[in-house]
């Protein structure tokens, strides 16, 4: 009987381990550092299933953090989270009658999340999207599991998505829509900016600094984190528990993510607080395209970028474009409920 139980449990663990392939491949790397880098790569993104929060434009604008545009929604009185949500931040220029929505994206999410975004994108005159590629390159929709022409980065994102039973952004977002406009650096431009700023070395340096700074507390924290991960492998629904684990850890490590990415204001104490190619320079490229589209007479625009980019975008729209924030819409990216009912619950609460 005991042997049968051990075999049954081992079989369950082996099956669940398929959800953590990426972690196992990098077992020589400190787990907390690996998790941080995974979160950076993959996450950092009103309909009936959305909740509205209207912002009041009184007093000076406060600085926007990454946690202001991404959240884990845990209903009051509940222990388990209901969903991982991303924000759509609304801006207007009343004088010129122009509106700009900042659409935070996560690169792996529920299929329903991307279907909702596709519906909303149809309402814009122009949707400015991120993709380090040549101007005439339009990403094709990929079938689930299709590895053809995938970059290393997109392959990692797709693999993590499969581990969490989530879908990859490129598999569902319709980039061939007529109102989609490329608004990013070319590979050559991006490589030049990376080299000039030394971003890759700086990111590695910041990750090491974070790990060293944690000391003994960091070691204990890592053991606890690995224990929580093991708990997901033994759960009845490993993919759901792993999603909850990733969602919670992502929120816990928000500040560390911003620090490692080196966006404006991240300030690492070494004179590197003036932004990064990954965030600041790509944002600048998007804003140049935004100005071009405005000059062409576009009135209703969206910028569809990873959530980590939005704090700097908010600062630019308020400062350089003299636009005012009018509200925030939250959209469910990951349904974290046992019965996958988060969207239905949100819809009923919105009525």
Is pLDDT larger for residue 180 or for residue 63? 180
Report the C-alpha gap between 326 and 143 in whole angstroms.
37
Residue pair 102/316 in contact by the 8 Å Cβ criterion: no
Judging by DSSP bridges, how do beta strands 98-105 and 83-93 pair with one another? antiparallel
pTM, to two decimals: 0.75
First-to-last alpha carbon distance for the chain, in angstroms, is 53
What are the structure tokens assigned to 91, written together? 């801006």
How open is the CA angle 11-236-248, to the nearest 5 degrees?
Answer: 115
What are the structure tokens assigned to 289, written together? 């395209």
pLDDT tens-digit series, residues 68-117:
899 999 988 888 899 999 999 999 999 999 999 999 998 889 999 999 99
DSSP character string of 231-243: HHHTSSSHHHHHH
pLDDT tens-digit series, residues 127-163:
999 998 888 788 776 555 555 444 545 555 555 556 6
Q: What pLDDT shows up at residue 234?
A: 66
pLDDT tens-digit series, residues 261-311:
775 544 333 334 577 888 899 999 999 999 999 999 999 999 999 988 998
Place of tokens 């659409």: 103
């Amino acid at each position: 009987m005991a042997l049968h139980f051990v075999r049954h449990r081992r079989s369950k663990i082996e099956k669940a381990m398929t959800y953590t392939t990426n972690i196992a491949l990098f077992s020589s790397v400190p787990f907390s550092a690996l998790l941080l880098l995974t979160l950076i790569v993959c996450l950092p993104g009103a309909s009936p299933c959305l909740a509205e929060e209207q912002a009041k434009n009184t007093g000076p604008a406060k600085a926007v953090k990454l946690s202001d545009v991404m959240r884990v929604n845990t209903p009051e009185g509940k222990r388990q989270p209901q969903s991982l949500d991303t924000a759509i931040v609304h801006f207007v220029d009343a004088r010129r009658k122009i509106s700009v929505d900042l659409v935070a994206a996560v690169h792996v999410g529920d299929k329903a999340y991307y279907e909702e975004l596709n519906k909303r994108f149809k309402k814009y005159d122009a949707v400015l999207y991120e993709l380090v590629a040549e101007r005439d390159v339009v990403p094709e929709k990929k079938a689930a599991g299709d590895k053809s022409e995938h970059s290393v980065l997109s392959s990692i994102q797709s693999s993590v998505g499969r581990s969490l039973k989530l879908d990859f952004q490129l598999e569902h977002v319709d980039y061939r829509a007529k109102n989609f406009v490329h608004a990013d650096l070319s590979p050559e431009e991006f490589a030049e900016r990376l080299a000039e700023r030394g971003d890759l070395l700086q990111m590695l340096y910041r990750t090491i600094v974070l790990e060293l700074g944690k000391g003994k507390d960091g070691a204990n924290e890592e053991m606890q984190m690995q224990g929580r991960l093991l708990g997901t492998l033994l759960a009845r629904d490993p993919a759901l528990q792993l999603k909850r684990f990733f969602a919670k850890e992502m929120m816990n490590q928000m500040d560390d993510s911003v620090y490692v990415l080196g966006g404006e204001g991240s300030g690492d104490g070494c004179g590197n607080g003036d932004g990064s190619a990954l965030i600041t320079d790509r944002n600048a490229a998007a804003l140049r395209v935004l100005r071009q589209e405005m000059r062409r007479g576009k009135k209703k625009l969206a910028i569809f970028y990873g959530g980590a980019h939005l704090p700097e975008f908010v600062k630019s729209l308020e400062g350089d474009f003299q636009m005012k924030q009018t509200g925030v819409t939250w959209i469910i990216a990951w349904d974290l409920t046992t019965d996958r009912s988060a969207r239905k619950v949100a819809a009923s609460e919105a009525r």
